[in-house]
Amino acid sequence: MALRGQLADAEARIRSLENRLRDGETRDPRTRLLSNDAFVHAAERALALATAEGRPVTAAIIDVDGFRRLNVRCGPQAGDAVLVDLVARVRSLTRSYDVLGRSGADEITILMPGTDQAGAQARCDRLIRDLKGCERPGVGVVTVSAGVAALIDGGSLAELLGAAQAGLERARALGGARSAVRLADEVRDANPAHAAVVEAIAMTLLERDRYTGEHSAAVVELSRRVAMQLGLDEREVEQVAAAALLHDIGKVAMPDRILNKPGALDEREWALMREHPIVGERILRAIPGMGAVARIVRHEHESFDGTGYPDGLVGDAIPIGSRIILACDTYSAITTARAYRPAQTHHFAITELTRCAGAQFDPRVTEALIGCLYWDAQQGHRAGTPMGAPAPARRDEPGAPQALSA
């Protein structure tokens, strides 16, 4: 009996050792996430099951901003503690059937079966917001960037993760502490054969004028939501989103002395700046399949009362996408700091939008935009700057009764 007990105890220790060894091959020792190979194996199975059931599949790659500098400044133990805390936060936002893995020194990859792209990006944005408001002793505020992608019909896991990685690279290029999708996904309504061309153009704008590139990215999602609020169909919504991304593309032809001027533009400079919607249309019409987007871009500075440019269109003669982008563009411009003025408050921006409804802006678009912003405020998505800030320096025509615009 004693011998049998000893043998059973030995067998139990061997099984425990085998399990620990097996676990060491599939789990990262610091974060307890799946190792890269184990993640790929589990994700392939989850993706196949979700595809067979007709459910959407998305992926997100989350990266700690400035992780190498953090390790140098605070030491590797602090870096490990940041990762462990980040994993705990990520787990709180995921479900038991999501697949999580450590895909790099500071990267966490998540496969989310049954979640669409908007849902995945909302989770990442919540994580980013939560981290921005949390300071770690001895480390400070840690921020992360995230790339999000949705599985395309017939696509593979490698293609899905590649798209998420491209979104992450874009988020980094925009300054970090944000989520992003691949540029080609923002303009997926365009001819797929030319998506790479569109992506290259948008990245050129970002490199030429970082404010304009970041501002365009900020306008995209708000324009998409307003378009949906107004009942546009899926194709029209994506055309609006593509035009929002590229609405300032004509500024690549503007001289640096105008784009970076710290004060107000003079009459000659303003006349040249007014040409950028026409230049943008010309660039986009050179890409087959982008005609509708090009038309929206040409008219995104037309005012509802006919006082805008370049063609002085009035009311419903202005493409609905142009009317949407003008309002969303103006809100973003007012609430973002510029070289020639500070950022203004959310309240100030809403006051300006309301004041100019029926003149500069389509009243229906203004109502839909304010509704979306009100929902954001209710959800705690925005934090206004102090009230009572001075009125901004204006870059529109002297004396024009218009809200500040980009």
Q: Which two tokens stand for residue 22?
A: 């097996």
Q: What is the pLDDT of residue 397?
A: 35
Q: What is the DSSP string of 222-269?
A: HHHHHHHHTT--HHHHHHHHHHHHHTTGGGGGS-HHHHT-SS---HHH
Per-residue pLDDT tens over the stretch 89-135:
999 999 989 999 998 888 999 999 999 888 898 899 889 988 877 77
Q: How confident is residue 263, by pLDDT bands cut at 50, 70 and 90?
A: confident
Distance CA 357, CA 394 (A): 18
Q: Pairing state of beta strands 144-150 and 140-141?
A: unpaired
Encode pLDDT of 123-160 as tens digits.
998 899 888 777 788 888 899 999 999 998 888 999 99
Which two tokens mark 218? 């900020």
Per-residue pLDDT at 65 exceeds 60? yes
**Region 155-180: what's the mean pLDDT?**
87
pLDDT of residue 190: 45
Average pLDDT over residues 196-218: 62
Show the CA angle centred on residue 125, arms to residues 124 and 126, nearest 5°: 90
Neighbours of 73 (CB within 10 A): 13
User: The whole model's pTM is what?
Assistant: 0.56
Domains defined along the chain, listed by start: 29-180 (3.30.70.270), 182-406 (1.10.3210.10)
| Per-residue model confidence as pLDDT tens digits over 214-250 | 556 668 888 988 999 999 887 788 889 889 888 888 8
Cβ burial of 154 (10 Å; 0-12, 13-18, 19+) is: exposed
Nearest Cα residue to 109 out of 45, 172, 177, 59: 59
Digit-coded pLDDT (tens) for 269-312? 888 888 999 999 998 888 877 888 999 999 999 999 999 999 99
